[in-house]
Amino acid sequence: MNMHGIMTPVDPSYQEPRRTYRERIQQWAWRRRLFLLVVALPLLITATYLYVFASDQYVSEAHFLVHSVDSAKPGTPGIPAALGAMAGMSGSQNDAMSVADYLTSHDAVATLRAKDRLIERFTLPGIDPFSRLWSSDPTPEQLLKYYRRHVQVAIDADSGIATVTVRAFRPDDAFLLISRLLQLGEERVNVLNRRSYEDAIGMSRRQLADAEAALAQSQIQLTNFRQNRRDIDPAASGQAQITLVSTLTAQLSAARAQLASMGQMINHNSPQFKALQSRVDALSAQVAAQFGRLTGGNQAIAADIGSYEGLQLRQQFLSKRYDAAASNLERAREQALRQQLYLVRVVEPNMPVQSLYPERGRILITLLIALLLAYSIGWLIVAGVREHAA
């Protein structure tokens, strides 16, 4: 059709110029430029990084369980076995959680950094820039953040078993790090045991020490009393004094009776009567003196016996107190030993052979699905805008 709207015949010998292969590719790419930019290019870049530059990461895994002797028992007297098992399992989970928290803490990282070349293992030559630890002297916060990306500790809520996984860029590093972590866990359990043991028996030890000191002081007081009174056993001395007074009193009574009968038969001025009278007077003086020693004054044997019996009674009381404190300490020690924690290695660390990270296939599939969704949403929006504009 020409400019006046009249149809003009087409030359049958005319042929449309043939496009080259490159031109056809360019035209196809131009028509699908949005898909290539949104989906294909990011996917290609990611695949290039994963399969060409990304460093292989090896995983070592181990399982452990923390429990005590009491929690390992199937049941507790007076409590159904199921409830006892549930109580024991709860305690085991708490203990395992405390160990797991320690293994991912600043303390564990500081120990690994100082003794196990933690930083050197994550800054090896050849590790890709996106996976390596950037600084050779990171701050504790930076190192802990990077460490937690490569070390995980998970606890099963049903069994109480903790699973430790370590990712490293060499199989030996993964195996050595996880082995060292289990050693740190065992050392931490030993620290908890020492603390709980000292806390459990600390009060009993102090009570025993107080009872021992009081008993020793009582013994010193008893010894000083004996030295001051110059009497080993005032009670025995008192008994001997009572016997002596009784004997003298009997002799005095016999002498008085004899003197009375003699006075009826002979003259009171006779030598026999005077001699017997002197003997009666002497016995009377001895009875009075010995009786006074037994009951009179602060130095009397009766006062000594009272003080001595008081000291003995106190010593007996303190001795019983000491025996009770010693028994309490022994019971507390036995109970503390029953509550000692143990880290049981359920599964030993494995030496990895094949790298498991990065998960190249899963990453690419996930990225492809996400990019396709984004592309589809964008295409629908653009199509809606065009339709609305038309």
Residues 156-214 have pLDDT tens digits of 888 889 999 999 999 999 999 999 999 999 999 988 888 888 887 888 888 888 888 88
Question: Of 107, 116, 101, nearest to 173 (Cα)?
Answer: 116
Does the pLDDT at position 216 exceed 90?
Answer: no
Residue 116 or residue 315, greater confidence: 116
The two tokens of residue 15 are: 């042929």
The two tokens of residue 102 are: 């320690």
Query: What pLDDT, in 10s, does the model give residues 329-355?
Result: 888 888 877 778 888 899 999 999 998
H helices of the chain, in order, are 21-31, 33-35, 41-48, 69-72, 81-103, 106-115, 118-122, 140-150, 171-229, 234-263, 271-295, 301-338, 360-389
CB atoms under 10 Å from CB of 127, counted, come to 18
Q: Are 279 and 257 in contact (CB under 8 A)?
A: no
Helix (H) or strand (E) holding 124: none
Query: What pTM value is reported for the model?
Result: 0.63
The two tokens of residue 39 are: 């989906």
CA dihedral of 287, 291, 297, 301, whole degrees rounded to 10: 130
Q: What percent of the chain has pLDDT over 90?
A: 26
Angle between helices 81-103 and 106-115 (to 10 degrees): 50
Quickly tell me which residue has 């019983």 as its tokens: 320
Quickly tell me which residue has 């630890």 as its tokens: 133
Please, which residues bridge with residue 60 across strands?
A: 166
Residue 238 — pLDDT band, cuts 50, 70, 90? low
**What pLDDT, on the 0 to 100 scale, is given for residue 3?**
46
Q: What's the rounded Cα separation, in Å, for the pair 284 and 290?
A: 10
**What pLDDT, on the 0 to 100 scale, is given for residue 316?**
86
Q: What's the rounded Cα separation, in Å, for the pair 179 and 185?
A: 10
- Select, from the ranges 8-17, 138-147, 207-216, the one with the highest average predicted confidence (pLDDT): 138-147
Q: What's the rounded Cα separation, in Å, for the pair 257 and 274?
A: 14
The two tokens of residue 306 are: 């009272």
b/e burial code for range 149-169 (CB count within 10 A of at least 16 → b): ebbebebeeeebbbbbbbbbb
**What pLDDT, on the 0 to 100 scale, is given for residue 144?**
94
**What pLDDT, on the 0 to 100 scale, is given for residue 112?**
94
Rg (CA), the chain: 51
Query: What pLDDT, in 10s, does the model give residues 33-86?
Result: 878 888 888 899 999 988 888 899 999 999 999 887 665 554 444 334 343 444
Residue 259 or residue 171, greater confidence: 171
